[in-house]
Amino acid sequence: MTALTNLLDLDPAQLVSYCGELGEKPFRAKQLQRWIHQFGASDFNAMTDLAKSLRDKLATRAMIAAPATISDHISSDGTRKWLLDVGQGNAIETVFIPEENRGTLCISTQAGCAVNCRFCSTGKQGFSRNLTVGEIIGQLWMAEFELRKTKGIEPGPKGERQITNVVMMGMGEPLLNFEPTVMALKMMLDDNAYGLSRRRVTLSTSGVVPMIDKLSQECAVALAVSLHASNDQLRDGLVPLNKKYPLNELMAACKRYLDYAPRDFVTFEYCMLDGVNDTDVHAHELVALVQNGVSVVPCKFNLIPFNPFPASGLTRSNNGRIKAFAQILMDAGIVTTIRKTRGDDIDAACGQLAGEVQDRTHVQERMQKMAEYREKFGRDFGRIVEISA
């Protein structure tokens, strides 16, 4: 039996080709796209302006299927988090953050994450696999029409849009799942689908330098970089990817990206960790990093109060320290905001998305072994790790 084609996996060009394979003209692809992404339709019989013969073909050869919802929680502040089943024991998380003038959806691009940033609970569970295009865009498809249903808003292009902004800041490193992520981005921007502005779609990366350059050529949306440290030595420990792409290379890539970006600045995300990266010295180092002569990087800093989780061994900087840190950046003329923590009562805040993954990287086993070594060798543990590396 031939497997059904999930139409959520097809970008506009692929949908035209698919219709051609069915013996249909290209305009049918646009009709299909509108039914799927503007009306939220999953039943081909409901697509009333399609010929009956086409609907019959689609019913036997295609489907429209987003990841199934395992759980759906709403925070006291209105933040909503879905746990979604992506098969083979893997689950991802998607979060909607309502604000007065916009609604932001935080989307996952991988089941788990292999980058393993020290302060992120997603990385501590390891990595299973990349998500497909349909699993990425399916989060937006599911959330938009579920939110409309909750509010009693009719689907369709004239219905009040609930999701005005999308951030690729959920589980995973988007640039390590490049092609599916870019295909999903292009659907978000397409006028026959969601019609979002490039300024309202943000991709967050931990700093995969070659892919930042590639993104600038293929689909330049707003860019956010998970920085979290002011020097290479500190960042090597917090964001292991820095060992491959150090700060000077990352800053150069950010500057190159701005030639193509819809915004004239890069957002640097900076998680505030008590006694680790939050001193005045660190703040002044950041100023020097982004205002260094010819390599000035126009930017905005978003300071993120750390959301603790047991395995991290880290604590949140106090409010006074965060404000003092921000003031140093602002005194240097850098736009700086302190992120308001949202959805932490349902573990939907920044750095808390964990889901459930079948870990291909065996990170939990490695962490357990390291804990056992630490207990056995005590003070000599650091020297043993250094020698083994």
pLDDT in tens, 260-293: 999 999 999 999 999 999 999 999 999 999 998 6
Angle between helices 27-37 and 12-21 (to 10 degrees): 120
346 pLDDT exceeds 60? Answer: no
Confidence category of residue 308, pLDDT binned at 50, 70, 90: confident
What CATH homologous superfamily does 68-358 map to?
Aldolase class I (3.20.20.70)
Amino acid at 183: M
Residues acting as catalytic residues: 93, 350
Who wins on pLDDT, 161 or 124?
161
Least Cα distance to 193 among 33, 8, 10 occurs for 33
Tens of pLDDT, residue by residue over 95-139, are 999 998 999 999 999 998 888 888 887 767 788 899 999 999 999
Q: Where are the domains of the chain?
A: 5-63, 68-358, 363-389
Max Cα-Cα span within the chain: 74
Predicted confidence band of residue 159 (pLDDT cuts 50, 70, 90): confident
For residues 222-246, one letter each, b for 16 or more C-beta atoms within 10 angstroms of the residue's C-beta and e for the rest, the string is bbbbbbbbbbeebbeebbbbbeebb
CA distance 254 to 245: 12
Residue, of 358 and 82, whose pLDDT is higher: 82
Same CATH topology for 5-63 and 68-358: the answer is no
User: What is d(CA 108, CA 171) in angstroms, rounded to the nearest whole number?
Assistant: 4
Torsion over CA: 303, 309, 310, 316 (sign): positive
Q: How far is CA 37 from CA 10, 11, 85, 202, 214, in A?
A: 12, 11, 21, 20, 27
Query: Inter-axis angle of helices 178-189 and 209-218, to 10 degrees?
Result: 30
CA dihedral 300, 306, 311, 313 (to 10 degrees): 100
pTM of the model: 0.87
Could you tell me which CATH class the domain 5-63 is placed in? mainly alpha
Q: Which residue has the higher pLDDT, 290 or 375?
A: 290
CA distance 83 to 91: 6
Handedness of CA 301, 307, 310, 315 (dihedral sign): positive
pLDDT tens per residue across span 210-219: 999 999 999 9
